[in-house]
Amino acid sequence: MKKIGSHISFKAPNYLVGAIEESLKNKATALMIYLGAPQSSRRVDKEKYKLDEYIEKYKNIIVPEDIVVHAPYITNPANPEKQEFTIDFLVQEIERMNYIGAKHLVLHPGAHTKFERSHAIETLIDSLNKIFERTSNVEISIETMAGKGTEIGKTLKELKYIVEKVKNPRLNICLDTCHIWDAGYDIKKLDEFIDELKKYDLKKLIKVIHVNDSKNPIGAAKDRHENIGKGFIGLDPLKKIVNSKEFEDAIMILETPWVNGTPIYDKEIEMLK
């Protein structure tokens, strides 16, 4: 079955059990959580996750491998000044994931800020190597970025360079449809885009796809997600990606805005199927 779900909040009092139940209500078969607030490194004790109850009731309905975890935004693995903090934090985050059995950690490659772009990229490569050395099992998917501000990881060429340098079988790619569109790639021409991915040997590394429409025209480099079918990409191209044979093993995750204070993931998942 197609693996599709959305970003779901992971919160008190039911944590894992709550997140799974909300996903099932949306007819999702996968989900993505942050193990704490996306903008914070504060984390609750693992004992609170309700892991036993999840295993007992839901483990066979949504398997742990299909619970994607997104690293918090504050981690910038490309910033040399914050590298030590980021590595330590992500190593612990991966330990929390191993406790659950979650497999994919989505990580933003970071921003080069005041540093040279090349220095930031080498820092990212070094961070990834050190994280892999100190952890096991969990795979990291670095996300394709819109190129807002000084973000790195905007082009396939740059992502290829990073993957090639790290050369670790636990390093994958998370394709974000809004970001890649904003970065200037015309995903409406899907065959050509897939050829481009293959040219860089990256297609096979796409394990997670963030399915979002974009509030902006192609190349805008803004990173503002829109609801499915309401933006500049549109429903049909997104539906094609979700149902493409080429991406049949990737986990599809929606990160679309809430409407009038509530998520509409249930409707959007239905639209995309």
Residues with Cβ < 8 Å from 57, sequence gap 6 or more?
A: 17
Binding of Zn ion at residue 223 (CB under 5 A)? yes
As a whole number of angstroms, the distance between CA 38 and CA 46 comes to 17
The contact mask relative to Fe ion for 167-196 (x = CB under 5 A, - = no) is ---------x--------------------
Binding of Zn ion at residue 143 (CB under 5 A)? no
CB 89 within 8 A of CB 58: no
Number of residue whose CB is nearest Zn ion: 223
- In a 13 Å sphere around the CA of 16, the CA atoms on its Cβ side amount to 29
Identify the CA nearest to 7 among candidates 55, 100, 69, 59.
69
Is the backbone peptide bond immediately before 72 cis, with ω within 30 degrees of 0? Answer: no
**Cβ 225 to Zn ion, closest distance in Å?**
6
Count of residues in contact with Zn ion, rule CB under 5 A? 1
**Cβ 53 to Fe ion, closest distance in Å?**
28
Count of residues in contact with Fe ion, rule CB under 5 A? 3
As a whole number of angstroms, the distance between CA 50 and CA 227 comes to 31
**Cβ 110 to Fe ion, closest distance in Å?**
12
**Tokens linked to 16:** 């894992």
Nearer to Zn ion by Cβ, of 61 and 259: the residue is 259
As a whole number of angstroms, the distance between CA 62 and CA 54 comes to 10
Nearer to Fe ion by Cβ, of 163 and 209: the residue is 209
Nearer to Zn ion by Cβ, of 64 and 109: the residue is 109
Nearer to Fe ion by Cβ, of 158 and 176: the residue is 176
**Tokens linked to 172:** 């994958």
Residues 233-262 that bind Zn ion (CB under 5 A): none
Binding of Fe ion at residue 82 (CB under 5 A)? no
Residues at the contact surface with Zn ion, assessed by CB under 5 A: 223
